[in-house]
Amino acid sequence: MQLITINGFEVYVEEADKYVKINDINAKDLPLVWESICKRFPGYEFDLCYHDMPPPIEALSPIGAELLEDCIEMQVSKDEFIPYPCNSITPLVKTDFDAFAALHDKANPECGGTSKIIQRKWDNWRVFLLRKDGEIIGYSIICIAMRDAAMGEIFCIWTDNGTHRKALISAVTSCAFENNKNVITYMVDRDNKEEYEAATAVGYKETGYYIGYQVKCIK
């Protein structure tokens, strides 16, 4: 993702996916960049992300921004991590990619780590699969190439089983530490008690919150 500056504000752009993101911009400053963004990136999807601050609804509503996610930020360090058995979970290999991509695109279409991004930037991501009778019944995705080189971030845990969820979180967390990350971040949906409990079980703790808004198509 490319970092550019528009009217003095940092903006992240992924041209291949027609995606733009800006962090923590307040009500006063948003109008200063919005017109320029619309002119420069027509047809793009636009995310406004707020970390540990209330989003400026009065500025978001006029541009058609809709709530995308409301999450609790959780983190774990290597010393705090409590590994959970995950012997039956295996890393995704390229020969299995098509089956994974078809499932992921259907199950989690709003995930920031889409199958296209993972395939295009293979070395930046790690995916772990859980199978039963040859079918994928769970998977986890983590990015190990963040702007902060010491951090990894979990983007998705998909399963309907609590025990499997702990194992999948554990697998990607272990992988990130093996790739020399010092801390792992996991944005847990505020209303998902099962996800929160599974993260806590392997050592994650609350460190803040995150609220994301989205404009589906910049006009």
- Token pair of 214 as six digits: 């989205």
Task: Tell whether the model's pLDDT for residue 93 goes beyond 80.
Answer: yes
Report the distance separating Cα 180 and Cα 159, nearest Å: 27
Q: Where are the alpha helices (DSSP H) in the chain?
A: 30-40, 57-60, 97-107, 115-120, 162-178, 193-201
When mean pLDDT is compared across 4-18, 68-82, 190-204, the lowest value belongs to: 4-18
| CB-facing half-sphere around the CA of 4: CA atoms within 13 A | 14
Domain boundaries, the chain: 2-70, 74-209
Q: How confident is the model at residue 4 (pLDDT cuts 50, 70, 90)?
A: very high
Task: Tell whether the model's pLDDT for residue 148 goes beyond 90.
Answer: no
What beta strand segments (E) does 62-189 contain? 66-77, 89-91, 125-132, 135-143, 151-158, 183-189
Q: Which CATH number fits domain 74-209: 3.40.630.30, 3.30.230.70, 3.40.50.300, 3.30.499.10?
A: 3.40.630.30
Report the distance separating Cα 219 and Cα 207, nearest Å: 36
Contact 144, 155 (CB under 8 A): no
Task: Tell whether the model's pLDDT for residue 183 goes beyond 80.
Answer: yes
Q: How confident is the model at residue 209 (pLDDT cuts 50, 70, 90)?
A: very high
Cα-based distances in Å from 185 to 61, 63, 204: 29, 30, 8
Report the distance separating Cα 99 and Cα 105, nearest Å: 10
